[in-house]
Amino acid sequence: MAQATFDTPEHLREFFFAMIESLPGGILLADRQGNLLAVNQKGAQLLDLAGCSPQNKTCWGVLSQKFGLTHELVALHHSGGRLLCETQVSTGGDEKRCILISRNDLQSPFLHVAGFFLSLEDVTFPAMMEMHLDRSKRFAAMQEMAEAMSQELKNPLGSLELYASILKRELAGDPDNERVAARMLGAVRTMHHLLDNFVTFSGFPLPQIQRLEMVAELKKSMETLREMAGEHGILLESRIEAGQAYLLGDQALLGQLLLNLGLNAIESMPKGGTFSLGLRALPSDREHGALVEIRVQDRGVGITQENLQKIFDPFFSTKGRNRGLGLAISHAIAETHHGLIEVESELGKGTTFKVLLPANSGATTEISWGKDV
């Protein structure tokens, strides 16, 4: 292999540019005033400058346009300055990148050579790992609190449910008082379900997998939700578009998922109204196998686009309450069953949750429509 020689300034310049192009991070070379002199390939990629000439551009203008920064760039006006920026990937979507920018002044014994260079490093993965570790610590503390709360409340709450059931039965001949007892029982059952959410969050149980017929499971959940909805003057509409729909799953966990989504719909309609609970079987195609789709659609207040990214975070709530576990647990249950939850919402018009779960053989497509009040 021939040894590299630098007989001419051109050879030295070529070696210099080959070196900066080979660096794993981005490099922006600038004069004292910040006018761009050169940008390596990685820097052009991180700043979306591919195919653009650095002529008549300043590093400050490029960074401001890419990251939307103004005053923050002061941190890079002195040697050793560092700035962490966040940006969306150029391919679109919600994926974001964390870019660390550092300044280093050029050191040269010649007065006519002066300037600085900015190095750009993609630190997305380390930043995500740090966020993940921080979140894990917070979750561990939350889980300990949830476990302690569930142990303290489970027994007295079970007794309340029993007494409310007895009271409702004893008042069967008194319509007014029977209605009051029914509301008491519904409220206790709601509290019991919320406690189940805390128990699930404190230690997610190992799923007990069996073959389930989801039309029957959906109708069971609707009986409970009908009582809860009735307390708020809300109607429950069924939209079952399958004679049968089978999947492999945990009966208790999937029932909890249905109640969580139903309660979320009820709480989103403070002025009353109608929400629907539906099911259909989706045939297999090139992208995925056969699916069971569960759809919960309300006509409530809706969710802002900003909050759509947060609704599955534990303890996040837009209702002014310190719960926010129902949707987070529903998301975890869907993932445990190798499925997913999609959500669409429009302010003032309502929200639709779609749960997509892998189907088991036996699904048919007979259509049955009905309404439950």
Domain limits, the chain? 9-122, 132-203, 211-373
The whole-number average pLDDT for the span 312-325 is 66
The whole-number average pLDDT for the span 152-178 is 79
Q: What mean pLDDT value characterizes the chain?
A: 80
Q: What is the pLDDT of residues 20-50, one digit of tens each?
A: 787 778 888 888 888 988 888 888 888 888 7
**pLDDT > 90? residue 234:** yes
Q: What is the pLDDT of residues 61-108, one digit of tens each?
A: 989 888 887 888 888 988 888 888 887 765 555 567 788 899 988 776
Percent of the chain exceeding pLDDT 90 equals 24
Q: In what order do the strands lie in the sheet with 273-282?
A: 340-346, 350-358, 291-297, 273-282, 234-240, 368-372
How wide is the angle at C-alpha 262 spanned by C-alphas 260 and 265, nearest 5°? 110
Q: Classify domain 9-122 at the CATH superfamily level.
A: PAS domain (3.30.450.20)
- Name the architecture of domain 211-373: 2-Layer Sandwich (3.30)
In this prediction, residue 150 carries a pLDDT of: 67
Diameter of the chain measured on Cα atoms: 108
Query: With the C-alpha atoms ordered 173, 179, 184, 189, is the resulting torsion angle positive or negative?
Result: positive
Q: How confident is the model at residue 7 (pLDDT cuts 50, 70, 90)?
A: low
